A and B are shown apart, each in its own frame.
Chain A
């Protein structure tokens, strides 16, 4: 799922394309058919592109204007090709408008939903609870009252993958899973949150990364 920031920048991108198309249209003496203009822009978007990974996202860089070429080859069948040509190219350049929008969305996402902050994943814990996912779990429950202020002071620490693996032996360092916590509104993030035995550590698994946070006090308390 995309975040609300990504969607907003997408809408801005489309609006920009629409405004440019309108500017071209206004200046034309022979008015083309609007539905045809929309189709031409869509075909113009079609391009040969390369995908480039950047900050956990993929950006698409268009290189060859395949859509424009196809339309150019078919121009004989399209009356008044001259008045549509610009829209085909607009379609191709729209790829770059969306590229810019995508880059801005990455920056915006980092600012609004910083991936290295606990509150991005645990903005609301009113309906949160823990599941014992390993026999090393004690009979504890999630401390809803104290959690919000504890989470505020969480500090990111490195994930010590091999150490934890080797030290675990037959016990599990993270024997609980926290469920029902809501991420920050609009982020549409999905994450799995494991809780450390002492209740003071959180291991957060996102679709392509892990974060580890330590707290001053335990998020878990005795009993139910």
Chain B
């Protein structure tokens, strides 16, 4: 009899902890915090940002949101929010809005998103994003290799809106995906060193003013940032004009 009771108690514990774990990790996201709550939370964990105005909340998907904000010192920043462990958590806060690439799922390029919040004083009217890979050649083990230059461009007009979020165009996703697939296959054969790792691919950006000339966004760079967690939110470097063809 005692054994039976023990078993029953054990079963209840197992079921309960399973349900708890499910609730903790897999339940639907709760309502997103209000602007006041967002600011309070941000200024608690990263007082340097001193957020004063929340501009908007941009939804990437059910569990990933981006909140552009303006600081007391009139800087334009961005905070990144993830629904994780049953709460909305700020995983990254940037007090400057130069573009970053949020790789929500590292293995799936269709989950990559450019995020930016360019200061209006910088006079940027168009942002050009690039996917680049340098031309190269190789002679190895009696075999010749030629790697074409890849240069894909996507222009985004800011249209008086300082901030924005953009997923990779589907062509970019195809290019990044096909390179990743080849790399994974060549890594299976450890004997062969990977010929052209996907890391040879890189992203970049160029800010343009109203006259379509390159401009330096002095108010949108060199800020401070706060990060917590293992989200991949990558810096996007300026493209050097000499890298473009």
Contacts and interface: CB of A to CB of B under 8 A. Distances in A.
Interface of A: 1, 51, 53, 56-58, 131-136, 158-162, 164-165, 168, 170-175, 177, 179, 190-192, 194, 203, 205-210
Given A56-B189, A131-B174, A170-B245, 20 more contacts: A1-B185, A51-B191, A53-B192, A132-B171, A133-B152, A134-B149, A135-B153, A161-B139, A161-B145, A165-B135, A168-B135, A171-B245, A172-B151, A174-B146, A177-B174, A177-B175, A190-B178, A205-B147, A207-B182, A208-B189
B182 A135 contact: no
B130 to A, nearest CB: 11
Contacts of B236: none
- Sorting the interface of chain B by its residue count into under 10, 10 to 19, 20 to 34 or 35 or more gives 20 to 34
Given A131-B175, A172-B245, A161 B138 contact: yes
A164 B182 contact: no
A174 B133 CA distance: 13
B182 A168 contact: no
A192 B185 CA distance: 12
Nearest to A133: B150
Contacts, number: 103
Nearest to B188: A207
B215 interface: no
Main SS of the interface on chain B? mixed
A136 B139 CA distance: 26
A208 B144 contact: no
A208 B149 contact: no
A165 B178 contact: no
A51 B191 CA distance: 8
A105 to B, nearest CB: 14
Contacts of B182: 190-192, 205-207
A224 to B, nearest CB: 14
Which of B146, B174, B175, B178 has the largest count of A CB atoms less than 10 A from its CB?
Answer: B146
B222 interface: no
Contacts of A206: 182
Contacts of B195: 205, 207-208
Which of A131, A159, A177, A208 has the largest count of B CB atoms less than 10 A from its CB?
Answer: A208
A209 B146 CA distance: 10
